[in-house]
Amino acid sequence: MTQLMPPLDDLLVTDEEASNLTYFAFAKSHQAEPALAPTKASVGEMPEVLAGRYRIERLLGAGGMGAVYRARDLLSEQFGDPDPYIALKILSEEFAESPDASALLYSEFALTRRLRHDNVLRLHSFEVDTDCQRAFITMELMRGLTLDKLLCERPLGLPWKELRDIALPLLDALAFAHARGVLHGDMKPSNVMLSEEGVRLFDFGLGQAEEGILPGLPHLSRNRFNAWTPGYAAPELLEGQPLSASADVYGVACVLYELAGGKHPFRRLPSTEARDGHLERELHAPRNLPKHCWPALRTALAFDAADRTITAAQLRDAMGATSSLLQRLRLRA
């Protein structure tokens, strides 16, 4: 799970800070004044049906700031939709009170919506339940396994054919996001699903748009949400540098390395610790990775961002390329 470093109190803004934040429509429409910072008493318990439409069925997963439920869209059901099931991500009760947290959830929605790609989770809507005053996202229900669960079932990693069928779409989704100016910020096995419909990259909750993209999004003081996942976050992120495409490349490289041999490249240590302990000296090609892919993956795992001279698209191309030996054999045939 992503570690949220600051205590909850740090997220609940002071009056002065609050004036710099964007608020969302938590108030019921008949109220004359919009509720600015929702008060403790205003955030209610989770109802069985949200926004009069989504019946909560069961918990699918809980993360740093909220939870994801499987729900039934009663409206689609009423119109005869044979598959009215959706997933719904909602802030937990404590975080529902923080305007920053709602803004982060909206930012996740806006970033993911920018990405229409077969291998990026599809979102439907951002809504607010006015009774319990909680913001939530509705999205496609993925049926399958996250890569962390897959790794538990396959502790020795995946054979190259299976690995390639995950690596290529995943890298393609990440390269697409980068090309659209969207950074993921939390590449790790539990944020990638191998669903019935293929690979899906999701959870842009720590994502960010590149400068000039989606300029209308609320400006968030992200350094207060110092929420990287230490085993997959590049050293520069743990040292306070801003998120970059190169940091995403480091995270996805850790994921691919782990899938290829069942082991994290640096024993799941925080990357700064792994770097200071010179663990790169022990690094060798994972067992199921073809030789010709290793130089690219090795470069993507560089601790120093200046040495990480490979993009997600280049990594995808390197993993998709056939080895020169195979190429020669094919040419001969």
Ligand X SMILES: Nc1ncnc2c1ncn2[C@@H]1O[C@H](COP(=O)(O)OP(=O)(O)OP(=O)(O)O)[C@@H](O)[C@H]1O
Question: Residue 128 in contact with residue 114, Cβ under 8 Å?
Answer: no
Residue 65 interacting with ligand X (CB under 6 A): yes
Residue 102 interacting with ligand X (CB under 6 A): no
Least distance between ligand X and beta carbon 140 (Å): 6
List the Cα angle 103/252/115 in 5-degree steps.
45
Site track for ligand X across 188-217, x = CB under 6 A: --xx----------xx-x------------
Q: Which of 98, 107, 133, 146 binds ligand X (CB under 6 A)?
A: 146
Nearest to 173 by CA among 251, 125, 243, 116: 116
Residue 91 interacting with ligand X (CB under 6 A): no
**What residues pair up with 195 in beta bridges, in sequence order?**
144, 198
Nearest to 67 by CA among 94, 95, 50, 89: 89
- Residue 186 a catalytic site member: yes
Least distance between ligand X and beta carbon 149 (Å): 8
Residue 38 tokens, joined: 């929702």
Stretch (H or E) spanning 78? helix 74-78
Tell which positions 23-62 bind ligand X, by CB under 6 A.
60-61
Nearer to ligand X, 64 or 181 (CB): 64
**Distance from first CA to last CA of the chain, Å, rounded?**
49
Residue 2 interacting with ligand X (CB under 6 A): yes
Interface positions with Mg ion (CB under 5 A): 63, 191, 203
Query: How long, in residues, is the chain?
Result: 333
Question: Residue 136 in contact with residue 274, Cβ under 8 Å?
Answer: no
**What residues pair up with 126 in beta bridges, in sequence order?**
137
Least distance between ligand X and beta carbon 258 (Å): 16
Q: What residue 121 binds from ligand X, Mg ion, none (CB within 5 to 8 A, per partner kind)? A: ligand X
Q: Which residues contact 140 (CB under 8 A, 6 or more apart)?
A: 86, 87, 121, 122, 123, 124
Nearer to ligand X, 200 or 275 (CB): 200
Nearer to ligand X, 190 or 288 (CB): 190
- The residue annotated as part of the active site, out of 129, 186, 203, 248, is 186
Q: What residue 65 binds from ligand X, Mg ion, none (CB within 5 to 8 A, per partner kind)? A: ligand X
Least distance between ligand X and beta carbon 86 (Å): 8
Please give the Cα distance from 56 to 87 (Å, whole number): 9
Please give the Cα distance from 28 to 37 (Å, whole number): 14
Task: Candidates 140-148, 240-248, 281-289, 322-330: pick the segment binding ligand X (CB under 6 A).
Answer: 140-148
Pairing status of strand 134-139 against strand 85-91 = antiparallel
Residue 290 interacting with ligand X (CB under 6 A): no
Least distance between Mg ion and beta carbon 207 (Å): 11
Site track for ligand X across 154-193, x = CB under 6 A: --------------------------------x---xx--
Least distance between ligand X and beta carbon 20 (Å): 25
Using a 10 angstrom Cβ sphere, with 0-12 exposed, 13-18 middle and 19 or more buried, the burial of residue 152 is: exposed
Q: Which of 68, 166, 177, 234 binds ligand X (CB under 6 A)?
A: 68
User: Distance of CA 290 to CAs 55, 131, 148, 189, 326, Å?
Assistant: 47, 55, 22, 21, 11
Residues with active-site annotation: 186
Question: Under the rule (CB under 6 A), what is the footprint of ligand X?
Answer: 1-2, 60-61, 63-66, 68, 87, 89, 121, 139-142, 146, 186, 190-191, 202-203, 205
